[in-house]
Structure 1
Amino acid sequence: MKKNILVVFTGGTIGSKSEAGTINTSADAGFALLQRYRQSHPDIAETVTFSSMQPFGILSENLHPSHWRSMVSAIEALDLASFAGIIVTHGTDTLAFSAAMLALYFNRLPIPLVLVSSDKPLADPRANGLDNFSCAVSYIRDIGTAGVFAAYRNPGGAMHLHLASRLASCLPLGSDFISAQSRPYATYSFDGFEFHHPLPARSPYALKPDFSKKLLVIRPYPGLNYRDFRLDGCDAVLHDLYHSGTACVSAEAGAQYNLIEFAAACRQRGIPLYLAPALYSDDAYASTRALLAAGAEMIWNMSLEAAYAKLMLALANFGSPQAISAFLSADVAWEHLS
């Protein structure tokens, strides 16, 4: 029996064309992907059928959480029992954020959902989009384990299947994606899938497709002046950290550069301050200890992208600080690392 796969087109480079030196989304580019797949994989194409939809078509740098709601609503409007799996085509710029959101929201999905992107428009012979799509189809057809994943081959590299909740944003000045800690879930080749680590148990949550509209995200850099930020109307602040789980806690150059002063300002206004990413350890830097003592809450053991998506969902789905903290602490979609 043929397996039916739902393909959700959302735009991005994989759904774009290059014309007169400008890359932009094209209404028919996504469907051309299916035609290219059938032509290049006629044997496999005979074993699957595709149903498709396009809730929106944008370049992913223009993504807004309202697009997430549209995507989720479009998928949930269908009878998912009729599909063996779902493929979501997506742009690379915000792929890691959407991957984390879909992994967390669809944590109870009984079929696999795989995100695919392309580093170049599909008409470019160097593009990896068709290979990424082929990996997704093969995973759904041949493996079928439930969960949310991302299929991507870096230029000149192996084809990897990533846990969507652990996918890091594309490395700058290139088109390479890696999993957090450089640990993809699987490698795919002509011999099939080679899995690199088991999937631990998850803590399922039923969620609404609602997202906070007032989450402020701050990235650290030398000389960051916290007094430049207005906190009016914020639900919470998520502060990115350096790779060792640290940020500036020194007032030597001025109190305005000290995150501890900013933490005090948040506390006075009743605005929670969250920190990520950081791996939990018995040993921590003095700066990390100082931030925790100042009342900041660490979102342990997950990437910034996963922490962002999880906090966006938590703030809109739960009404108490205790419920929010419990959700952040639970391993909902394999987002927790060790």
Structure 2
Amino acid sequence: MKHILLATTGGTIGSVVSEHTIDTVSGTGGTLLEQCRQQCASAQNSQFSLIEPMRLLSENLHPRVWETLIAAIEAQPMGQFDGIIVTHGTDTLAYTAAALGFYFHALNIPLLLVSSDYPLHDRRANGVGNFICAVEFIHQLGWAGVFVPYRNAGQVQQVHSGTRLACSLQLSSDFVSVQGNSLMQFDAGLFTPTVPQPAKNAYQPDNMPRLKAQFSARILMIKPYPGLNYAHFNLDNVDAVLHDLYHSGTACATQDWGAEASLAAFIQRCQARQMTVYLAPALYTADAYQSTRALMALGAVMVWNMSIEAAYVKLMLAYGNFSQEQDRRAFMERDVAGELVSVAALTS
């Protein structure tokens, strides 16, 4: 018998459709368990403790929700549980997976985030299957860490590392890990690794300070696009900037179209305020584009080998936990929870 903490937070998996409107309702945790137990013997052989720290559609999520969720989980008798399942909406799933992945990097039991592409009463929904995968993961593997089981339409069930999950594909409910490499797949009741598995506790250095559940709300994230005008950004309540990059690790560095269209000029503007500009995502290689080198020469800090979602959440934790710039940089460079893609593995 496994004892599992189930924390429901709303989302599509906790919603119903009424008059063509999808919205959250209470009591969906019990509905989910009932459907799961009808199909899964391991669920029948599990004792679930239910909590509902909040109920919201995940597009309405604020970083303070993570703090509330973490506090609710830590208020439970953690030593009594074999695993934790958190139900969550899909819109901000990748961000919450990263937040919990970083914060609970030293957790000694599995924590899995379970979502659904449709409300549970819809026959197309993958929520029950995702939940069954989470239960089986706790029963069969029991790996410590934060994971996301999710089945894309018409595909085999995948299990993703929480700190490597990317946001869903455009005009789709499908999810992938960075570079399309999930951790493992689940098919016919069995788990099969899809990438080499890290050694247990590989991401938990002895000198890692204990993190506080403090996520700075003063990180500005900017997405590049042709014609982006940096003059639109007010930096009065910003401590740091995370600038998204095109797939080749680049953004507009030229001032040919005016300073207001140049990231290079914006970096100089931020530096005048002693504000660091971080760049992500980018894969570290010996060769880099001229535009990338120009931005780094101006003092921009590249966050190598990490998804934009993980980089954003990690920066929020860095600025929420550390006051010294060198401590923030050290935290950003450390592989805390398997978020860093191995360049050696990619080039071998």
| Contact kept in structure 2, 1:84 and 1:111, CA below 8 Å | yes
Cα offset for 1:79?
A: 1.3
Q: Does 1:199 align with 2:170?
A: no
Show the 5 A alignment for 1:82-101: 82-101=80-99
- SS in structure 2 opposite 1:7? strand
Q: Which amino acid aligns with 2:339?
A: E
Q: Deviations over 1:215-242 (max 9, x none)?
A: 1110000000111111112111110011
Match of 2:50 among 31, 49, 52: 52
State the Cα distance separating 1:49 from its structure 2 match: 1.1
SS of the aligned residue for 1:70 comes to helix
Contiguous gaps of at least 5 residues in structure 1: none
Shift in Å, 1:44: 2.1
Distance in 2 between the 1:279 and 1:115 partners? 27
**Does 2:276 correspond to 1:278?**
no
Deviations, residues 163-204 of structure 1 (Å, cap 9, x unaligned):
010000001101100000000000001140001221252135
Number of the residue aligned with 2:115: 117
1:146-161 maps to which residues of 2 (within 5 A)?
146-161=144-159
1:331 matched to 2:332? The reply is no
Match of 2:127 among 120, 126, 129: 129
Q: Which aligned segments of 4 or more residues in structure 1 are displaced greater than 6 angstroms?
A: none
Deviations 1:287-331 (A, max 9, x none): 110010011111111000000110000001011110000000000
Code of the residue aligned with 1:86 in structure 2: it is I
Q: Is the 8 A contact 2:90 2:117 kept in 1?
A: yes
| Match of residue 13 from structure 1 | 12
Spell out the pairing of 1:250-289 with structure 2 (5 A cutoff): 250-289=254-293
Instruction: Verify the 8 A CA contact 1:276 1:302 in the aligned structure 2.
Output: yes
Structure 2 residue matching 1:72: 3-state secondary structure: helix
Comparing 324-333 and 199-208, the one that deviates more? 199-208
Name the SS of the counterpart of 1:250 in structure 2: coil
Q: Does 1:31 align with 2:30?
A: yes
Q: Is the 1:203–1:330 Cα contact (8 Å) retained in structure 2? A: no
- TM-score of the superposition, structure 2-length normalised? 0.95
Question: CA contact under 8 A between 1:115 and 1:150: conserved in structure 2?
Answer: yes
Per-residue deviation, 1:45: 2.7
Tell me the amino acid that sits aligned with residue 249 of structure 2.
G
Q: Is 2:236 the partner of 1:232?
A: yes
Measured against aligned partners, the alpha-carbon deviations of 1:105-143 in whole angstroms (never above 9, x if no partner) come to 000000000111000000001100000000000000110
Specify the code of the residue in structure 2 equivalent to 1:53: I
CA distance in 2, matches of 1:203, 1:77: 23
Distance 1:232 1:44 in 2: 53
**Displacement of 1:260:** 0.4
Q: Is the 8 A contact 2:106 2:204 kept in 1?
A: no
Contact 2:241 2:278 in 1 (8 A): yes
Deviations 1:255-306 (A, max 9, x none): 2111000000000011111111111111111111001001111111100000
Aligned length: 336
Does structure 2 conserve the Cα–Cα contact (< 8 Å) formed by 1:11 and 1:30?
A: no
* TM-score of the aligned structures, taking structure 1 as reference length: 0.98
Does the 8 A contact of 1:17 with 1:29 survive in 2?
no
2:140 match: secondary structure? helix
